[in-house]
Amino acid sequence: MFTQKIIKKIKKAGLIGRGCNNFSTADKWELVRKAKAKDEKFVICNVSESEPGVFKDRYILENYPEKVVDGIKIAMKTIHAKKGFIYLNPEYYEQFYDYLINIINSENSNIELYEKPLHDYVGGEETAVVNSMEGKRVEPRLKPPFPVISGFLNEPTLINNCETFYAVSLINSNEYKNTKFYCLSGDGVEDQVLELPVGITVSQALKKFNHTPNNNFFYQISGGASGTCYNHKQLNRKFSGLASIIIYNINKSEKDVVMKWLDFFKNESCGQCVPCREGTYRLRNIMEEYFTTGKLDKEVFEDLIFSLQNTSFCPLGRISVNAMLSYFKNIKNKNLNEKN
């Protein structure tokens, strides 16, 4: 009875997973609940948070850790899992270990804290999380099978973001008000997190942060690596994925801005697939040459973009060009794909 009731409540609330995949939480829970386990099922709370400019999970653990643990316990009861994990990046593991352990022990919960071995970007992908916890190379797996069917130790595994479990706790106690956490950072502002309504536009969120968009800045939405760049007239749009805003001074060095993104993806590629491993490396090199000499081999550039977007094994390679292309298009009014 409890299982059916909580899944119905989550579905009625319209809760979408608060990672970056935009998948129905109720549907995912139902899939794991129905999956057949050879031995047992597992629940993993993913707190690997490593997207630049995103720090909502840290805020939640600082302010609402009891709600997160409660949400995990609800999930374990719902899918009939005996064991739960909180998968933390190294910084958060050190910062929150004692507090979380005290909460878990006080409630006699079978939840274990797991430290992500590296503060790496791809390690937040759900199958890379499973590989990490099994002591394997931290890289994404081929899907299917999906973790809901064959995850940790090849058993059905529910993996949700920290904020998702927070929201589930609120839904269960009838406190949920259809809100989510939004992050603001960048030039001229202090890092901030606000809990605001789901579905608001970027412009509306900025006003809640007491910032008025203007032509002195441009804005990177939904992450500081993969996020899309917009000018101040393009902000009447809703967030896609992570709800974060990074503000950049419009006069910031073009080279500094672009190379920061390219260096990030070159360094964070796990190296598993050739398109991403070689593509991020070569794209970084030809753009370095472009900024140094003003020359760009358009054919090679276009081939690299196509290869990264269409043949990379996991989302890291596919999203690695988002920030750069949107920056040139929306901020600099340049289309580097155009032939001379």
Q: What is the pLDDT of residues 202-213, one digit of tens each?
A: 999 999 999 999
- Intra-chain end-to-end CA distance of the chain, in Å: 66
Q: Residue 76 burial by CB count (10 A; 0-12/13-18/19+): exposed, middle or buried?
A: buried
- The residue among 256, 296, 264 whose CA lies nearest residue 280 is 264
CATH classification of the domain holding 196: 3.10.20.600
The pLDDT assigned to 213 comes to 95
The pLDDT assigned to 338 comes to 57
Residue 69: CB atoms within 10 Å: 23
Domain shared by 9 and 128, yes or no: yes
In a domain, 207, yes or no: yes
- Distance (Å, rounded) from C-alpha 281 to C-alpha 160? 31
Residue 44 pairs in a beta bridge with 85, 159
- Residue 270 · residue 316 · CB < 8 Å: yes
Work out the angle at residue 194's Cα, subtended by the Cα atoms of residues 193 and 196, and round it to the nearest 5 degrees. 145
The model carries a pTM of 0.94
Domain shared by 83 and 203, yes or no: no
Domain count of the chain?
Answer: 3
Domain shared by 56 and 77, yes or no: yes
Per residue in 192-234, pLDDT tens? Answer: 999 999 999 999 999 999 999 999 999 999 999 999 999 999 9
Domain shared by 55 and 96, yes or no: yes
Helix 2-13 / helix 25-34 crossing angle, nearest 10 deg = 150
Domain shared by 120 and 11, yes or no: yes
Per residue in 267-314, pLDDT tens? Answer: 999 889 998 999 999 999 999 999 999 999 999 999 999 999 999 998
- Residue 48 · residue 123 · CB < 8 Å: yes
Determine the residue type at 193: V
Per residue in 142-152, pLDDT tens? Answer: 999 999 999 99
CATH classification of the domain holding 127: 3.40.50.11540
Domain shared by 238 and 185, yes or no: yes
pLDDT at 340 over 60: no
Helices (H) and strands (E) in the chain, counts: 13, 9
